[in-house]
Chains A and B, each alone.
Chain A
Amino acid sequence: MSAYLVSILTEGSIFGIMALGLNVIWGWAGDFDLAYYGYVAIGAYMTLVLTIGPPVPPAEFILGLQLPYPVAVAGAVATSMAVGLVVGLIALRHLRGIYFSIVTLGAVYVMYVMAGQYVRLFDGYNGLSGLFDPMGDWFGFDYQTYQYFFLGLSLVCFVLVFLFMARISSSRFGMALRTLREDERAAAAFGRDIYRLKLKGYVLGAGIGGFAGALFAAYLSAFNPSAWSPVEVIVLYSAVLVGGRGNIRGVALGVLIMGVLVQESTRFLPQIPNHPQVVLALRGAIIGLVLVLFLRFRPQGLLPERRYIDREPAVEPAPQAT
């Protein structure tokens, strides 16, 4: 396996975990959440501050611990969920539709500005770095072997998250989330606690996002404000939309398609000298175009969510003798 393939597959699994988390919030609960990439970023930042040790002046950041990687991942997920809870408590109380989207857009920009400007948090625009090959020294891997190990780790994590999501998808909780998406008033009429359910779904999604962020931090070994931007969530939305919103197999397919499409569509372009951003920008434009076209012509995606049908016919009362 070439190094190229290894890196693509690793990125693909991490990206897949992000998309599965987003699917809980948008696919099932039906909320267009723009803060999602913020939770990924918090997961990545927290993993770094929990593992790379105290800051060397002039750098400054919070915590600066040297915990084992798995513990740091747990801490990162917990932080993402806590921030998700705060945003959810505010945004899900009364707001739906575009008002919810606008408030979450605000929330993520607050996170972005804080990460970039409030230097004492995550060292501002310099960001954090120095997480090299986590868990590699436990087994004594060299650099080359470690890449395969990390690929395996990411794939296993993806499969585990996928199986977890498959369970949730058919659980009572998953069904309840879908009823909120379809008809909130009807769900309320049947005694569902809408706010609590939505909040649960939202925090779960944020946690999955934070988990993906923790893996992403280990893959990049560094994280700073130029490594992410709030609007990157559009790429995740296009993957979920193309595959099939609400259907986890569809989401996995969407990630595969967007990954291949985006990588390969620009691969055969001639190199344009002096303009290194052109290829990246072209990819962005393609993603935007795919998003708009799918919304218009195939909003259910390539693998639509299967509707739940009650196959058992209602029992008619037996005719009574008169």
Chain B
Amino acid sequence: MHEALLTLGFGIVTAAILALSAVAFTLEYGVTNVANVSHGEILTVSAYAAYVVHQRTGSAVAAALAAALAGGLVALAMYLSVIGPFIRFGATPTVIFIATLGVSFIIQNFLVIGFGAENVAYTIDPGAPQNIGPFLLTPLDERIVLSAAAITLALYFVVSRTKFGKALRAVSQNRELARVTGINATRVAAATFFLAGLIAGYAGFVLAESVGTFNPYFGFSFFLITLTASVAGGLGRPFGTVAGAVMVGIILEFAGNYISASYNLAFAFAILAIVILVRPRGLFTNARRTVFE
């Protein structure tokens, strides 16, 4: 029982990081109806930005801010240079999916050119683990969980209570109708990408901090787990996605602890395949699936 509780504690930390990344991904999906495969690279670029800033200044706070800002700018650049033009050109979601896969390939390779393919690490001390309730967590883990909760709450406020949030929801539900009512869909989508990039950038920083090392491919493998969480929660539904992330994070941690952590990716995809086949619109909706999903 004690071991299970410890695992649950680690699962919550994984879930917190996953929730940030998945919420950002699902926001991007919501406003464009396109799965951005280069989402993982937002996390990677931010982790490197934080690495550079941390080496220069030695401050973890500055590194976190740099990561978020870099993430926002990268996501905005992805929207302005590739995703937006493809949408205006009338490309199908599958074509844009392929194009963003190409973008992810380009960014990974430029990172290899800039930083090399080897692992790099921050030297931020996570602090000694301590007992918090039944869990055994480091101060770093606490910071991750608390900040993820705070960011999710702030996002909830922005999406449900502000004018921008209203426009965001309108564009997500029906882009054409939103445009008819005078909403500048392109600008809303660009702003949403920037916002999602801020969150994903911060997620990239805490992920690198929590894992310890990273390389140009680390965002892509985390993207695969992000995808699972987002699809489980319902693509384009930010708060279903948080629930999906918590579930996937905890399942992965238990599977990793009781079976083997090396199969994590395989487990994630087993969950993903089952969810897509059984409930393609996500676990937390009651919509019927269609044949041409």
A residues whose Cβ falls under 8 Å from a Cβ of B: 32, 90, 93-99, 101-103, 105-107, 109-110, 113-114, 116-117, 184-185, 231, 234, 237-238, 275, 277-278, 280-285, 287-289, 291-292, 295-296, 299
Contact = CB atoms under 8 A, between A and B. Distances in A.
Given A296-B85, A299-B95, A278 B227 contact: no
A295 B102 contact: yes
Contact of B106 (A97, A110, A292): A292
B108 to A, nearest CB: 7
Given A90-B277, A281-B113, A296-B99, A97 B94 contact: yes
Contact of A275 (B105, B106, B116, B269): B116
19 contacts: A93-B277, A94-B277, A94-B293, A95-B293, A98-B93, A98-B94, A99-B293, A106-B270, A109-B269, A110-B266, A113-B266, A117-B260, A277-B112, A282-B109, A284-B105, A284-B112, A292-B82, A292-B99, A296-B91
Contacts of A288: 102-106, 109
| Among all A-B residue pairs, the 10 with the closest Cβ atoms | A106-B269, A288-B105, A288-B106, A284-B109, A291-B102, A281-B112, A285-B109, A281-B109, A117-B262, A288-B102
Nearest to B262: A117
Nearest to A114: B266
A163 to B, nearest CB: 29
A97 B94 CA distance: 6
A285 B110 contact: yes
Given A94-B291, A102-B276, A234 B265 contact: no
A23 to B, nearest CB: 15
B110 A295 contact: no
Nearest to A241: B98
A262 B105 CA distance: 15
A287 B105 CA distance: 8
Contacts of B263: 113, 117
A285 B291 CA distance: 37
Given A101-B94, A102-B35, A296-B85, A107 B277 contact: no
Interface residues of B, number: 47
B276 A291 contact: no
B97 interface: yes
B101 A277 contact: no
Nearest to A234: B105
A52 B224 CA distance: 35
Contacts of B112: 277-278, 280-281, 284
Contacts of A278: 112-113
A276 to B, nearest CB: 10
Contacts of A292: 82, 99, 102-103, 106
Given A102-B35, A103-B273, A113-B265, A95 B98 contact: no
A285 B106 contact: yes
A295 B106 contact: no
Given A32-B97, A98-B35, A184-B292, A109 B224 contact: yes
